[in-house]
Amino acid sequence: MKNLKKINIYFFGAGNIVENHIRSFSSYKNICLFSILSRTPEKANFLKKKYNIKYVFNNYSEIFKENNNISVAVIGVSVSSTYEVCKSVFKLFDYCLVEKPAGYNYSEAKKIYLLSKQYKTKAYVALNRRFFFSSINLELLLRKNNDKRIVNILDYENSLLNKKLYPKKIINNWMFANSIHLIDYANFLCRGKLILIKKNLISKKEKLIHLIYSSGDICIYQSIWERPGPWTVSVSTKKEYFKLEPLEDLSIRNKNSYKYKFIKRDKFDQIYKPGFYRQAGDFLNAIYGKTNRLVTLEKSLELMKLISQLYKKK
């Protein structure tokens, strides 16, 4: 990144997710951990000291930018606060990385998207599971195979989360926060456009849905929220069977063989929260106008629409 302007990163939020973003960005050259703003200043000051962040801001009016540097924002606040923070941040920054989901439901996601259009903000959504070493390898291996793909997604609810900590509106729209990264694998792995949704079994917490794509690829989405985990994604072709279980680990079985070949996590998915290091690098690439794998806010809105269709939620 020689001869490129330095990037100053402004973080919004001071929870565990933001700390993982900070750790990841801090490993790249030509960046400055410039500031952090949170509704809990004690957490912000803790992270400032721990990661040598230059400033802690207490409100948006204090934010200033340095000349000759590129200023960008990373938004990692709670889902219930995302819209209000985006309203303030999109006015100030040309580039933003917003933690998923960008909106607690589809209706709010549309509002956030319209904000980005209003302020001409280039916003991306942090769907870090696309950046797992396992996911990237799976997608690359599938490129070598022109066969029809049958993608099978097994979704469930993470029973370790304490729902009592969340507002009622979030609980009532839990599928957007809980399942967005699983349903994203459908569009990530299936080629072409989604042309048909067949809902075979519908109940509040149990679903078996077929998603048909123009390429002929099919995704079978099975959502049984009360089943044991982990989240699982598999892909069947005529010659190979691929499985992400857990999602961070890829195993491959060839035709006429019962043995699995395992692809281990790389060092970045062991040192950092999986997917975060490569995601940070691609955000920097996007800012410099380079090729990247990031999901735009517009593409994320399409995903939120799909979730609303699958779960009959607005």
Domain 130-271+297-311 has CATH 3.40.718.10: no
Tell me the H-state helices in 252-293: 267-271, 276-287
Token code pair at residue 207:
């679903």
Amino acid at 25: F
Band of the pLDDT at 201, cuts 50, 70, 90?
low
Closest C-alpha among 74, 72, 180 to residue 129: 180
Contacts of 211 (CB under 8 A, 6+ apart): 186, 190, 194, 196, 197, 198, 218, 219, 220, 221
Residues 6+ away with beta carbon under 8 Å from 51: 22, 23, 26, 33
Alpha helix (H) residue ranges in 13-162? 16-25, 41-51, 82-89, 106-119, 133-143
**Nearest C-alpha neighbor of 30 from the set 297, 250, 287, 295:** 287
Q: Give the rounded distance of the alpha carbon of 99 from its chain centre.
A: 7
State the pLDDT at residue 203: 67
Assigned CATH class of 7-128: alpha beta
Mean pLDDT of 62-78: 96
Whether 58 shows a pLDDT value over 50: the answer reads: yes
Q: Which amino acid is at 171?
A: I
CA–CA distance, 250 with 243 (Å, rounded to integer):
6
In the block, residue with structure tokens 């735009």 = 296
Tell me the pLDDT tens digit for each residue of 147-196.
999 999 999 986 666 677 788 899 899 999 999 999 999 999 999 999 99
Note the maximum CA span of the chain: 65
Tens-place pLDDT, residues 125-148: 999 999 999 999 999 999 998 999
**Residue 131 pLDDT:** 98
Residue-wise pLDDT tens digits, 207-223: 899 999 999 999 999 99
Pairing state between β 250-254 and 261-263: antiparallel
The full set of domain ranges for the chain reads: 7-128, 130-271+297-311
Q: Which of 98-107, 257-266, 267-276, 283-292 has the lowest mean pLDDT?
A: 257-266
pLDDT at 4: 77
Return the structure tokens found at 314: 């607005």
Query: Rounded to whole angstroms, how far apart are CA atoms 123 and 90?
Result: 9
Q: How confident is the model at residue 1 (pLDDT cuts 50, 70, 90)?
A: very low
State pTM to two decimals: 0.94
- Whether 230 contacts 216, CB under 8 Å: no
Q: Name which of 76, 74, 26, 72 is nearest 52 in CA terms.
A: 26
